[in-house]
Amino acid sequence: MAKEKKNTPKIEITRENKCSFCQGAKCCTYFTQHLDTPRAMDDFDQLLWQISHRDVRLYKDDDGWFLLVETPCLHLADDGRCGIYESRPQVCRQHSNDYCEFDASAEEGFDLYFDGYDALLEYCRKRFKGWDKRMKRLNKETKA
């Protein structure tokens, strides 16, 4: 077991210095897109198509349903700084580090979270009793 380091001064993390401790600037490594609330099987069929793409997730929280695309911003420099800081978009300016991804993973605040196709398909099967029957019918129609 590693020995505890002695005499290491503890640095208090504040709003002002927090971002400098954030490895990889987590808030710049994804974007989200608000969705109309999915209700019908066709809506979920569309989501299954979207989540079939690499690094696309889906979640629901108090604000509704969102696509989450995990891809770093092209302006994020290797040192974690913004390459277009002076002209960065409004949404970046409005993002607060008060209680952000540094403090807790975003997933903790989600009511529902789907990390891929299989998880969403399982949800669809539970939510709609006729999900698989519908697929059989669609397959027949496609062959006809």
Contacts to ligand SF4 by CB under 6 A: 18-19, 22, 25-28, 73, 75-76, 82, 84, 88-89, 92, 97, 100-102
**Tokens 């529902």 label which residue?**
112
Nearer CB in complex with ligand SF4: 88/134: 88
Nearer CB in complex with ligand SF4: 68/73: 73
Nearer CB in complex with ligand SF4: 42/55: 55
| CB of 3 vs ligand SF4, minimal distance in Å | 30
Nearer CB in complex with ligand SF4: 13/138: 13
| CB of 110 vs ligand SF4, minimal distance in Å | 17
| CB of 78 vs ligand SF4, minimal distance in Å | 12
Q: At what angle do helices 117-127 and 131-143 cross, to 10 degrees?
A: 110
Segments in 22-130 forming alpha helices (H): 41-51, 90-94, 117-127
End-to-end, the C-alpha distance of the chain in Å comes to: 67
| CB of 94 vs ligand SF4, minimal distance in Å | 11
| Angle at 10 (CA atoms; ends 24, 13), nearest 5 degrees | 45
Alpha-carbon distance of 27 to 99, in angstroms, equals: 12
